[in-house]
């Protein structure tokens, strides 16, 4: 797997904005690849700790540079697209993932964020439900009038796979539910319960013994065994596998009668579901950490795999106020267990070139098992990282799978260095195209200056174009993109949509039969219609990820309008440029990359060819026709007293308002709390309507 960029080991607080943008791009691509392996293929290539640390770095950079948050940011995305072979199910309530914590300080920060969002006193207790985080496959089960009617996997959080008949085979899943009604409220007419399908360790060992005796596939771990068993096309195979399920949350419910997470757990048991008996309500940070330590100490003795703890705000009314970001609820977090390390020999250092031209050194290792996975390569980040740790070919090194899809070398075992080992020197030319490789002032990595003539960059751009969050063309994975590029069949994204020409070349090619060629043709044709936000993201513009692409799509509405705005904004003193940088989360650095892309003649040619081949759909805004603030631009300043700033912004955006960080003549409302300063003065000078917090709540509706 290729390494995209060379900034991996630079501490977040030392990253310049331009370097942070590159890192976010690299992280988005690597995490997406890992999601694909884990959620869609049930074949993870990294440990959970490695994956979590990768996300942690992404979140830290986004916290420091919120204007650089990409549309394909892992913080905006859950899981991976559903696999082929099962009917699709659109979740009526999205199945979210969780943000992560890795230390006591992280958990304290989570509690503090809850207090700030809800505008609670710093010393007010926040009760949380703490429960083990099961390492299995997330599912949802729907009941209507007490009868089980449908089940689905999480998929990408919005759409999953229909596994109704397979889940029905689990003994832990009741086909009908009734309430003993000890708690009141009965069984809601519509009830979706969500949980984790897993395989007990003892059952896993017994299954593998049977598989081995029969000469069949032996599973790597209980999670893979559970996922593979649940997603069998023949439910009889699933029935023969010892699967279990813990339930812990809900989706769509016709009548929510419980008021706390703990009460819901009690209702699960009352209805006949399996809920984890180790779930506890904790009332302080000390209680939370004590429960974490107790569970970690008991971990090896449990008959199911766990990889951490989950903490959920106990009060349901607080959960509702806290709401969610695009990927995760604000009212819950996962506290993960530590990563694993191993010792091996670094045999050779090679250089790989990413989509943006960054040269990244990679350690080729004597294969070693780390956390149950064989590792043969590890990132060395950049030349400063190598020099700082004095890493040389032939060294014995300690490898950790805690931050990258390709693990990292964290330490050299100095007393095992072989005689004659010499310091590594980064090349001055690109190993792919021979162009000069330069390191700009203040940059952490060297970059190839070859641009589009560099095959490595061109191929990576094409891979990005067809990736899951872009055009998502089934059958055009990385391997085929590389092969078609090598044949000269694909040199530009528009070449993909010359379907007749492309598929004609595949006729008779090894590995391509009539059905697979026809499937590729259909997959490409299905993607001729694409949403504006996905199209913008697919273009691979530097610093423009999914979040930024969605912002641009919402702001300009159509590709025609976007092009016109980008042409007008080339005048940095004009109104169009001012409007561009006034978009929330888009500043001068992102604007420069956008305008540079649209100004390049080669890109204009590519865009014209794509427009001729595609139906780029206008962005359809959510229906906020009944909202009194829909389409209005709102700025918040000062101290808000009844809700936190984040909650206020989230509420305004949900009502269709545009939240800005600066005052201009186009601002409709300034909501000013105590302590309002320069923004209030500027609003008064420009004649912008100024509202108190109560006036804003009255206007927007106190919901």
Integer Cα distance of 660 and 599 in angstroms? 27
Q: For 551, left (φ over 0), alpha (ψ -120 to 50), or beta? A: alpha
Q: What one-character DSSP code corresponds to residue 400?
A: E
Integer Cα distance of 583 and 658 in angstroms? 9
Integer Cα distance of 323 and 158 in angstroms? 16
Any long-range contacts for 690-696 (C-beta under 8 Å, 24+ apart)? 693/640, 693/641, 693/642, 694/642, 696/634, 696/648, 696/669, 696/671
Angle at 114 between CA 113 and CA 116, to 5 degrees: 65
Determine contact, residues 334/380, Cβ cutoff 8 Å. no
633-637 and 669-672 beta bridge pairing: parallel
Backbone angles phi, psi at 118, to 5 degrees: -85, 0
| Residue 701: C-alpha distances to residues 31, 174, 651 (Å) | 39, 42, 10
| Residue 665: C-alpha distances to residues 207, 242, 575, 659 (Å) | 68, 65, 11, 14
Q: What one-character DSSP code corresponds to residue 495?
A: G
| Residue 583: C-alpha distances to residues 587, 664, 666 (Å) | 8, 12, 12
Q: 3-state DSSP call for residue 425?
A: coil
> Residue written as tokens 């025609």?
560
62 token code pair = 């986004």
Any long-range contacts for 429-432 (C-beta under 8 Å, 24+ apart)? 430/353, 430/357, 430/359, 430/454, 430/456, 431/351, 431/353, 431/359, 432/353, 432/456
243, 65, 90, 251: which is closest to 167 by C-alpha? 243
Which of 64, 67, 88, 133 is labelled catalytic? 133
| Residue 60: C-alpha distances to residues 27, 55, 70, 600 (Å) | 12, 9, 14, 33
Determine contact, residues 408/377, Cβ cutoff 8 Å. no
471 token code pair = 């055009």
C-alpha gyration radius of the chain: 27
Catalytic (active site) residue 681:
no
Per-residue HEC secondary structure of 339-377 comes to CCEEEEEEEEEEEEECCCCEEEEEEEEEEEEECCEEEEE
Determine contact, residues 637/645, Cβ cutoff 8 Å. no
Active-site annotation, residues: 133
């Amino acid at each position: 797997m290729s390494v995209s960029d060379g900034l991996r080991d630079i501490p977040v607080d030392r990253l310049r904005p331009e370097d942070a943008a590159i890192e976010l791009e690299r992280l988005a691509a690597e995490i997406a690849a890992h999601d694909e392996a884990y959620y869609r293929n049930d074949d993870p290539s990294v440990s959970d700790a490695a994956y979590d640390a990768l996300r942690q770095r992404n979140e830290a950079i986004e916290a420091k540079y919120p204007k650089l948050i990409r549309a394909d940011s892992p913080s905006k995305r859950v899981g991976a697209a559903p696999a082929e072979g099962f009917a699709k199910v659109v979740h009526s309530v999205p199945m979210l993932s969780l943000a992560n914590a890795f230390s006591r300080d992280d958990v304290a920060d989570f509690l503090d964020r809850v207090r700030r969002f809800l505008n609670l006193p710093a010393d007010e207790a926040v009760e949380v439900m703490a429960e083990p985080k099961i390492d299995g496959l997330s599912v949802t089960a729907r009941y209507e009038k007490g009868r089980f009617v449908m089940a689905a996997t999480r998929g990408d959080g919005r759409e999953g796979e229909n596994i109704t008949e397979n889940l029905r085979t689990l003994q832990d899943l009741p086909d009908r539910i009734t309430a003993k009604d000890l708690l009141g409220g009965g069984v809601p007419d519509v009830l979706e319960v969500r949980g984790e399908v897993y395989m007990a360790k003892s059952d896993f060992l017994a299954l593998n013994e049977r598989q081995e005796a029969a000469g069949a596939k032996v599973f790597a771990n209980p999670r893979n065994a559970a996922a593979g068993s649940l997603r069998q096309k023949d439910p009889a195979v699933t029935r023969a596998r010892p699967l279990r399920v813990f339930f812990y949350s809900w989706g769509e419910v016709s009548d929510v009668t419980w008021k706390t997470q703990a009460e819901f757990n009690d209702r699960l048991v009352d209805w006949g579901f399996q809920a984890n008996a180790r779930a506890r309500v904790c009332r302080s940070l000390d209680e939370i950490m004590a429960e974490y330590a107790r569970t970690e100490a008991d971990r090896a003795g449990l008959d199911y795999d766990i990889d951490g703890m989950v903490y959920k705000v106990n009060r349901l009314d607080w959960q509702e106020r806290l709401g969610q970001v695009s990927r995760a609820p604000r009212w819950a977090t996962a506290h993960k267990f530590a990563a694993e390390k191993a010792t091996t020999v670094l045999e050779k250092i090679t250089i790989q070139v990413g989509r943006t031209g960054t040269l990244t050194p990679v350690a080729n290792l004597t294969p070693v098992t780390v956390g149950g996975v064989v590792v043969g390569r590890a990132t060395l980040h950049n030349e400063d990282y190598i020099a700082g740790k004095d890493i040389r070919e032939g060294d014995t090194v300690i490898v950790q799978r805690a931050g990258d899809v390709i693990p990292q070398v964290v330490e050299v075992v100095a007393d095992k260095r072989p005689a004659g080992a010499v310091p590594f020197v980064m090349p001055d030319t690109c190993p792919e195209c021979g162009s000069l490789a330069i390191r700009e002032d203040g940059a952490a990595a060297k970059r190839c200056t070859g641009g589009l003539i560099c095959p490595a960059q061109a191929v990576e751009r094409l891979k990005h174009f067809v990736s899951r969050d872009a055009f998502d063309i089934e059958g055009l994975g990385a391997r085929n993109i590389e092969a078609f590029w090598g044949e000269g069949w694909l040199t530009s994204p528009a070449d993909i949509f010359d379907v007749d020409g492309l598929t004609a070349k595949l006729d008779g090619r090894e590995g391509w039969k009539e059905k697979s060629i026809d499937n590729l043709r259909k997959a490409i044709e299905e993607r001729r219609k694409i949403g504006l936000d996905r199209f913008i993201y697919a273009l691979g513009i530097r610093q423009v990820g999914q979040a930024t692409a969605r912002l641009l799509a919402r702001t300009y509405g159509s590709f025609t309008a976007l092009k016109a705005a980008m042409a007008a904004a080339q005048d940095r003193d004009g109104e169009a440029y001012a409007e561009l940088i006034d978009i929330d989360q888009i500043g001068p650095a992102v604007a420069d990359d956008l305008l540079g892309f649209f100004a390049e003649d080669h890109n204009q040619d590519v865009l014209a060819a794509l427009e001729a081949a595609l139906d780029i759909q206008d962005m359809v805004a959510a229906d906020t026709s009944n909202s009194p603030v829909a389409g209005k631009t709102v700025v918040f300043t000062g101290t808000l007293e009844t809700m936190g700033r984040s909650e206020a912004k989230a509420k305004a955006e949900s009502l269709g308002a545009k939240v800005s960080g600066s005052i201009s003549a186009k601002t409709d409302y300034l909501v000013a709390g105590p302590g309002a300063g320069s923004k209030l003065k500027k609003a008064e000078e420009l004649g912008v309507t100024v509202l108190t917090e109560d006036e804003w709540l009255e206007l927007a509706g106190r919901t």
